[in-house]
Structures are given as structure tokens and as C-alpha cells.
Structure 1
């Protein structure tokens, strides 16, 4: 019996490794599919609201997905020219930051000189045989990235369109797979609970991040920072990364503000204001709107972001937390996975040991004092 248990655990461990290996090599296939499901879940409350208003699933799906695609294209179009200009000026940006941060620049210069000396030593040792690898041009790299991004967007939007237009078809298919009436009821209740909680969370977080992006863009625009709307879009995307995204956005805004403004003191207002807005959102607004039930363990969030960032890069890091919320809600509705949902939860439940200790303490406090003899 113990041998069967050890074999079963080994097989489960191998299956987990196989899933991660598959996800790593099948990124281009899995990523748009996962994004399509997340987009469909995010838009499902709006689709149901339109359905109650008498609009069919197909029409509401086309309206919502078309609106989402238009917003994405608009953001990309307004940001593309500025990002291209920044990429051309990247060497001069680095030089300007070094010139204004003179103390840090001295350290960087020392490291650069040491690196040059090491490179000269390597060149003198291998001067007889030198291999030059021609890197792909900037235009070809940009075209390849644009085609890949366009394909991902197309698959994501089309899949979300089909999922929203199908209505309750997949729920009915799931219910039909159970034999007993009680099993059908439990499955249907669990599916609707998962969809309701996840869709509300994703929609709420998306709206919060969009509002945060608007406020960040307006604040930086009031400071006079060029391309402030780019940092607004970046704040919207980076805020899907709890704790980490705000720091990254503040560092980027601070670096660009240093080269844009005359004084470093005034430039520091950009990262300070950025961090203030993200802190207010993370500590007050999001917990109040989302609620305690969907708060996640900080350690679990960090490890999930690191894992998905390693697997899929920036795209994986951005969808890590929404995916973790989906996984947590599913675990809460599946009895066999309750242990995982308990670990992912940010709430601390009182253990049986703590309850027993409290009971013993209360009984000792309520016991009458013993009399001592003369």
C-alpha cells in the first residue's frame, strides 16, 4: 500500500513538472488562449447585464470585444510614436542620467573601465580566431515582435468573442457530464460561484488600474513631464503586479524625469507622486472594493510572479496574479484542493492548538483560588 502511495506521489510530481515544461515551450499557444479566457471572464458581468436588457449574446459579445480591441489599438497607437522616439534616444538618455547623478556615474565609469580592460585582455588572447555573429536588424526585430503581438491579440479577442457569444453552453455541457442530480447541482453552483467571483474581481481590478493610470498620467502631465500618457499606460499594466509594479513604474518615471527637468529635486517629485498614488490604491482603494475574501498571501503572490515571469517573461508576470486568483477560487470550490486555497489566503485562521490553549487559560482564570493552611 505504501508503495502505491509513493508511486502515486511520484507520478503527480512528474505531471506537475511536465505541465511547466509544456507551458514553457508552448507559450505562443497557451498565452493567447489564457488571455482569451481571462478577457471573457472580465467582460462576462457586462455581457449578462446586456442580456438582461434584451440584447442577444452574440451582439453583446461583438460590442464588448470590439470595444476592448479598439481601446487596445488606441493605446498602442498613441504610445507607439513616443516609445519609438525613446528607443532612438536611449543612449543619450543614459548619458544624461549619468551626468546628473554624478556620484553614481563615477561608480559606473569605474565598472566600465574595468570591463574594457577585461575585454582587451580577452581580445589579445583570442585575436587569432575571432567569430562575429551578425545580429538581426532593428527593423526586422520590430516586425517580428509586431507580428507576434498582433497574432496574440487576434487569438485573444476572437476566443473571448466566441466564449461570450456561447452564453451558458459550456456550463450546460459540464452539468450534463454528472450522473446524479445532487452532483449536477453542486457542479452548477460551483461553476457559477467561480465565474461570479473571478469576473467581479478581474473587472474591478481592471477598472481600478485604469483609473490609477489616468491619475498617474495627469499628475505627471501637471509636472510637465513629456510623454506623461505613456507612464499612465505603463501604470495601468504594471499595477497588475502587486508590490513590484509600483516600484518599477516609479523608477522608470524617476529616471525619465531626471533627464527631462533641470533640477534633480524637482524631478524626484515624479517617483514620489507615483509611489503615493500606487500606495493609496494598494492599501485603501483595492482592499475596500475587492474585499478581504480575495486577498492573497504576499509570499504566494511574489513566488507566482517570479515563476510566471521566468516562464513567459513580462507577459507571464502581468497575468500571474489574475491567474492566481482564478486558481484560488477554483480551489475553494473543490474539496480536494482546499489545502491550497488555505495557503493562498491572506487570512490567518486560529488553529486547534491555539483554541485549546485559550480554553485552558480561561479555565485556569475562572478556577477558585485554593486556600493555604496556617
Structure 2
């Protein structure tokens, strides 16, 4: 067995970490109705100032800067990296041929690209006006590249790869000139990411001259997934309670360190989700480490998990609810069918709250049926 294989096959547990499903579900909750429900609840409680403050956090930063909503995407990608030492590590440990592992990696990555194109309207067959980049595609390709690095390197090499990718991206964005704009232009029109996409991508870009899931940003997207894989390596094989609490401490330290590094880097290379800058990658990885520490300590260390069951339902079928809530299934129509009468009768803020609550309740009911039938969309 090679050194790389030894590094990736340390006591991989067959039992999945419930905290990962719960954290993934918590992450998705805010884009499938949770944001609307929280804002409606605050209005019902008469907390208008809190509603205004929360509302500002539930929109993306227009360019440079950061809001809580900006964390949802990188946290999901981070979690997909955390699973690598468990899923891919287990395959290596059990002697699965590398060719089969590579095939699964490419299959998953490219399937997410396809689902992303379908989400963007590919079935309309208007390929000239199709937006080819997508959230799902960005996740798929970033995960795929990170997975290929993971199965062929040790954790130390993965740390080096991560640092190298973030530094290369920073250097390219700072020093490679864009025709008509020069080097280091980080505006929407003048940055290197948008220029590359305008050169090579068919169809249309989300913002005309720029796409937030741009091809060159896959460099730092891969970095996000690799940092997640490093977090997963910290979790693997921890059976004793003392080992688990030590891991929680390490996750917290890593989180604080990444947040501080991201804020420092922001001084010279702004935190920007649209371009997925290196500072954004490190900063959001830090927040992801901290959230993972919270969920892991409460659910998998202390063993208190009942409160998280709604999030677990979402996390186990995250792709299903993402596609369903936004395109495939009209949960809004179903909510109107069951709750419109009550909403109209009550009216006002309570009416808005009842509708938002009903929307989430119907989604969770749908996911619970899938859960009981053991139906999960796996890619």
C-alpha cells in the first residue's frame, strides 16, 4: 500500500455523521423557504427593526462585501468536501480499483453540470441563449477537481494544493491584464473571470458581461472543497469522547484562523462571492468550520439530535428540494390550495406567517414521505 493510500484509509467509519446531514439541511433551509418564514415571524412578533436587519442579510452583497446569504453556497461546497474522507476514503480502504473511483468522480461531477443546465432551461432547446454555468455545475466541477486531488495525495499535500490554488488565483486576478482594463481591475466589467468566460463560453452569461459561476473561479471553488476535505480528515476515525472533543477544539481553532486570515486578505483582495476571491474562500471556510464544530459537538458528540430532524430531512435530499422548490415542483401552488383560505381570512402579518409556515410544512411533508420510502436523489 502506498503512502497516499495509507493516508486516506485511517479508520473510515461506515456510519454517516448525522451532523453533516443536519448542517447541509440547515444550509439549504434558508433558500427553500426558511428566510421567508423567519422574516414573517419577526413581523408577527412586532420586531420591525430586527426584520429590517435580517432582511439585509438575506440578500447577496452586490459586489465586494459579505452577507449571511453569501455563506449558503460555499458552506454547501465545503460540506461536500467534508464527505470525501468518508466516501472516497472508504472506497480506497476496501480496495476499490482506482479506475472505478475515477469513473464515479467524473460521473458525479458531470451529472451535476447536466442537472445545472437543465435547471437553467436546457430542455427548452434554445442552446444559443442557454446559460451554461450554474450553481450545481460549479459544485460538481469544484468537487470533481478536489476529489481527484484528494484520492492521489496526503492531507499535507492537499493543504499545499489549497494554498497554491488560492495564491495562483490571487496572482492571476491581480497581475494578468485584461484588454481594455489592464491588470488588477476587480470591477464586474474588467475582472479576469468575466473576460475568460466571454472568450470561451457559449450561450449567455448571467450578468451579460460576467457570470458568478465563472470557469476561472473553479480554481478557488476547488479550494473550498479541499478545505472541506481537510475538515473531514479531522473527523475521521474519532470514536473516543476525548478525541471528539479535541476535534471540536481543532475545528474551532481552524475556523477562527481562517476568518482572521480572510479578513486580513480582504485588505488587498476584497471578499467577493461573485468572483469567489481567495479571501472569500478562506473567510467562508472559517465560518463553515465554526458551524461544523457547533453541529458536530451537539449532534455527534453530545448526542442531541432530535431538534435537527427537519434539517436532516432536507439534508438527505438536498438536491431534490433545491430542484423542486425552485423549478420542478410548485410548492407555492400546493400551499395556496391548503392555506389560501386561512391566509385570506386572517390577513396581515399573521397571514404572511401562516403562508410561509405552510410552505415549509408542505416541503417537509414531501421530504418525510421520501425519507420513509428511502428515496434519495444521489449524484
Q: TM-score range by the shorter chain?
A: under 0.3
| Structure label with greater radius of gyration | 1
Task: With the length of structure 1 as denominator, give the TM-score of the two structures.
Answer: 0.20
Larger helix percent: 1
Q: Which has the higher contact order (CA 8 A, sep 6+)?
A: 2
Task: With the length of structure 2 as denominator, give the TM-score of the two structures.
Answer: 0.19
